Structure 1
Amino acid sequence: MNNSRIQFADELEALLGVNGRPSEHIDEIATWAYRWRLTHQDEVDDEVDAWLLDLGFMSMGQEFELGDVELRQMIVSARCSI
């Protein structure tokens, strides 16, 4: 489980890039989250699973989009909860 949290954080951070804005990558993030959830469904805990659902919902409209701060907080939380 710990490795999946680290992998989740690393991959999400790579998607966002150093100075990338989430609004430029909404569909890419949502697609990645859906695929990641399917691939790692037996490895993730409830918190990561909820994050993946939230990330997947981002492509459904502006009201579901998460900002850079929220996304980076997911990364920090995933790494700190190990």
Structure 2
Amino acid sequence: MKSNKYTLERYDEEFAVLLEKGNESHQELIDRSKLESYAKEGDILDVEWNSDGSFKEASVLQSETDARTKDVSALIEKLTNKKKEK
């Protein structure tokens, strides 16, 4: 059983598109119905895989998601303030 961190990048039709943390060029497609009841776009997930590589389960890493949301908000504010200064 293998576990990795992923960002839920988006829901695309019947799939959830996951990008691997640290290697965002690697993506996994999971049946949307397995995540949509508890995970939203932008959440960081700890995903467990079965030995055959199929999806087993995922949990939202709320503290990591909150920290990243805070960082992104701070960056947007900084960029907005720079634009106003010009």
Q: TM-score range by the shorter chain?
A: under 0.3
Choose 1 or 2 for highest CA Rg. 2
* Structure ranking higher in helix proportion: 1
Higher relative contact order (CA 8 A, sep 6+): 1
* Structure ranking higher in strand proportion: 2
TM-score by length of 1: 0.28
TM-score by length of 2: 0.27
